[in-house]
Amino acid sequence: MIRGGILQIVLFFVYLILQVVLLKNLVLFNISFCFLYVAFILLLPVEMGNLLLMLIAFLLGISVDIFYNSLGLHTMALVLLAYLRNHWLATITPQGGYDIGTPPTLAANGLQWFLVYTLPLVFVHHLVLFFVEASGFTLFWYTMLKAISSLLFTMAVMLLLQYLSLDRRR
């Protein structure tokens, strides 16, 4: 348990540094962003409590914000994602339930389940992020375009990493 905790703390910084040093500069066609750091919250163990989850999301969000000069923005979106996560996990429990102690990954539950799990949550996160940043709905379709193309980018990178770690385990 303690080892798992230390691993998660290390992962926290890995995701953070990866996001603000590398992925921050990786933007496709000026509209497609990769916010891979959401994967950290999504892949925390299933049985983790809502409170702890939100506090971690708050810390991660505010750290990302510092580097993006957008104080509060990523925090807001990520805390919302963390809050919704456990409710969503409870709704889509696969037959036989989750294995205790395992993170909700593609390896554990399959591609279809993983997509059902991540896609709506990441989309909600991106919608909140872009509409709060635009501070309103004046640029509705452009913002929507940004959110959807970023969703595709983030999901593609996240799935890629899932498949990479899947192979290693075999």
Partner 1 sequence: MERLLKFLFEYRAFFTFLFLELFSAWLVVENNQYQSTAYFNTSNQIAATIISTSQTIREYFSLKDINSDLAVENSRLRKKLSQQDQILLARELSLFGDSTIINRFDFTSAKVVNNSTRYYKNFITINRGKKDGIHAGMAAISQWGAVGKVKSVSEHYAVLISLLNIDEQVSSVIKRTGHFGTVQWDGTEPRFIDLKYIPRHVELKLGDTVVTSGYNSVFPEGIVIGTISSFKLNEEAQFHSIKVALSQDFGKLSFVEIVRSNLKIEKDSLEQKIIGDPK
Residue 51 contacts partner 1 per CB under 8 A: yes
Look up residue 49 and give its amino acid: G
Q: Which is nearer to partner 1, 43 or 85 (CB)?
A: 85
Q: Candidates 13, 137, 142, 163: give the one binding partner 1 (CB under 8 A).
A: 142
129: Cβ contacts below 8 Å, ≥ 6 apart: 35, 73, 74, 76, 77, 147
Q: What is the dihedral of CA 117, 115, 125, 40, to 10 degrees?
A: 70
| Region near partner 1 per CB under 8 A, out of 1-9, 38-46, 76-84, 88-96 | 76-84
DSSP state of 99: P
Note whether 154 and 126 are within 8 A (CB). yes
Residue 12 contacts partner 1 per CB under 8 A: no
Q: Candidates 58, 88, 98, 113: give the one binding partner 1 (CB under 8 A).
A: 58
Size of the site for partner 1 (CB under 8 A): 37
From residue 78 to residue 97, what is the string marking binding to partner 1 with x (rule CB under 8 A)? -xx--x--------------
82: Cβ contacts below 8 Å, ≥ 6 apart: 41, 50, 53, 54, 56, 57
Q: What tokens does 112 get?
A: 């279809």
Residue 106 contacts partner 1 per CB under 8 A: no
| Contacting positions for partner 1 (CB under 8 A) | 17, 20-21, 24-25, 27, 30-31, 33, 49-51, 54-55, 58, 61-62, 65-73, 75-76, 79-80, 83, 132-135, 139, 142
